C-alpha cells in the first residue's frame, strides 16, 4: 500500500547561489526541486547522507559554476539585504 502524501505549497527564501545550485542539481537528477528538498530533509532527519560520492562530485561542479562558496558554518551568519528585510 502506497503512502498518500499531502503537500503544501510554500514560499521559502534561499540564498540565490544556493537556489541556483539546487535547481541545477534537481534538473541533473531529473527531480522536481520540491522532491529534491524533501529527500535531503528526510535523509537529514534520519542522520543519513543524502548523496552518493558521485552526486557530491556533481554538486561540487555546480557550486563552482554558480560561485557557491558558502559552507554549513555560514548558515547561522547570513543576514538579509537591508532592502529585502521586512520592516
Residue 63 counted as domain residue? yes
Residue 83 counted as domain residue? no
Number of domain units in the chain:
1
CB 25: neighbour CB atoms within 10 A? 20
What range does the domain containing 51 cover?
16-70
CA-atom Rg of the chain in angstroms = 15
The pTM of the full predicted model, rounded to 2 decimals, is 0.83
Residue 41 counted as domain residue? yes
Gap between the Cα atoms of 16 and 68, Å rounded? 9
Residue 81 counted as domain residue? no
25-to-63, 65, 77 alpha-carbon distances in Å: 10, 12, 24
Instruction: Quote the pLDDT of residue 82.
Output: 64
Instruction: Quote the pLDDT of residue 84.
Output: 56
Instruction: Quote the pLDDT of residue 51.
Output: 97
Residue 37 counted as domain residue? yes
**Cell (9 digits) for 34:** 520540491
Residue 6 counted as domain residue? no
Return the H-helix or E-strand segment holding 17: helix 16-28
Instruction: Quote the pLDDT of residue 79.
Output: 85
List average pLDDT for each run of 10 residues in the chain, which is 87 residues long.
Answer: 82 94 98 97 97 98 97 88 59
Amino acid at each position: 500500500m502506497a503512502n498518500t502524501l499531502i503537500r503544501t505549497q510554500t514560499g521559502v527564501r534561499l540564498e540565490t547561489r544556493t537556489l541556483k545550485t539546487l535547481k541545477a542539481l534537481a534538473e541533473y537528477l531529473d527531480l522536481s526541486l520540491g522532491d529534491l528538498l524533501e529527500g535531503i530533509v528526510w535523509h537529514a532527519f534520519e542522520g543519513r547522507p543524502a548523496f552518493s560520492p558521485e552526486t557530491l562530485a556533481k554538486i561540487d561542479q555546480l557550486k563552482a559554476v554558480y560561485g557557491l562558496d558558502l559552507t554549513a558554518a555560514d548558515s547561522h551568519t547570513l543576514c538579509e539585504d537591508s532592502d529585502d528585510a521586512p520592516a
